[in-house]
Structure 1
């Protein structure tokens, strides 16, 4: 059995979100947006807000266009899939999420799956 090819094995360091507090703003280069400024110091970020609410495909596309080509986004799956549906019968919701997040194009890094502690492992 062979492993699937890895797209990018480069270690990356980033934050969960890209808010920059006023007291830290001077540490970041100028940019057109807070995300663009964040991307002058980090090469990846977690989109944690996707866990709580959906984002429009155009929003993902705008985010991708505002960062350098080597930048990557890690996107958290929605809680409607992981917690509410508990990974059951969630095909249409997952398809919609993947279509929207797919607008990140080659800037899409990892998909993050946070499961509820009450969801037990089932090997079948």
Structure 2
């Protein structure tokens, strides 16, 4: 029984001095993050495919039970829309090989313009992908959430290949009142407004949750997920929960708090290890 929790990134300027020591080199920031959380969203691969050696360094900085959910490059999902992607996909799969068992899932995030009429193309890609990896899909077109026929069609496509459907739950964020900071205003403009989805299709469900700057509102908004995730664990599933806030300043600590709240309902769940200590700054 295992619950993986994490954030949208493993480095953030505001984490200096709390999650990572000051003057920590880029090659060590993931190591300190991985003592706080046991999973991370691999968003960087969406924008550019890293060098294989870089991916090897990610594996080297993390313990064996750490998990990456790695996003497919936007060239594949957004620009080429699954057409003529064989070389891009082959190269990407080669690059991420060093993650080995640390790769929890390859995450196919699709644009809002990816509509029900495009599902056939997704189906073809999923059936061609190598079966040694797990896959997860995130969609943002409203019809997948509001039209039962289109919802069922996408579920069937995912189920045929053991692919998970990743919800990005922003309902608590948009229900929390008008934005109160620049970060909240940016999220208000950019984040999707979709109904909450709580159905797991596989033994490895993945959830993305967006809270508010106000910790009280963030915690209140995730109570639904505490119950759902606890239920998944009791069913024998191994979920992954990613905690987002508009500024992400306290995201690692909040992810750990979520894990603690789930563990209070599922005492058999092992606690997260204590984070690696960050040495306080001294005068000399």
For residue 18 of structure 1, the aligned residue among 10, 18, 22 is 10
TM-score normalised by structure 1 residue count:
0.81
Per-residue Cα deviation, 1:44-90 (whole angstroms, up to 9, x for no partner): 11110110011001110111011111101111000000001101221
- 1:115 and 1:16 map into 2 onto residues whose CA distance is 17
**Residue 19 of structure 2 is aligned with which of 4, 18, 28?**
28
Cα deviation, 1:19-44, whole Å, max 9, x if unaligned, reads 1434x434337687110000111001
Identify which range, 26-35 or 39-48, moves more after superposition: 26-35
Equivalences for 1:78-117 in 2 at 5 Å? Answer: 78-117=73-112
CA–CA distance in 1 between the matches of 2:93 and 2:77? 14
How many matched pairs?
A: 115
TM-superposed deviation, 1:120: 2.1
User: Kindly tell me: are residues 29 and 114 of structure 1, through their superposed partners in 2, closer, same or farther at Cα, counting changes over 3 Å?
Assistant: closer
- Note the residue ranges of structure 1 that are not aligned, 5 or more in a row: 1-8
So what's the TM-score if we normalise by structure 2?
0.38
Is residue 15–residue 44 contact of structure 1 (8 Å, CA) maintained in 2? yes
RMSD: 2.0
**Higher radius of gyration, 1 or 2:** 2
Correspondences of 1:60-71 after superposition (within 5 Å): 60-71=55-66
CA distance in 2, matches of 1:53, 1:37: 24
Are residues 62 and 117 of structure 1, via their aligned partners in 2, closer, same or farther at CA, if it must alter by over 3 Å?
same
Runs of 4+ off more than 6 Å: 29-32
The structure-2 alpha-carbon separation of the partners of 1:80 and 1:117, relative to structure 1 and needing over 3 Å to count, comes to same
Task: Determine helix, strand or coil for the equivalent of 1:28.
Answer: coil
CA distance in 1, matches of 2:54, 2:99: 9
Unaligned runs of 5+ in 2: 121-284
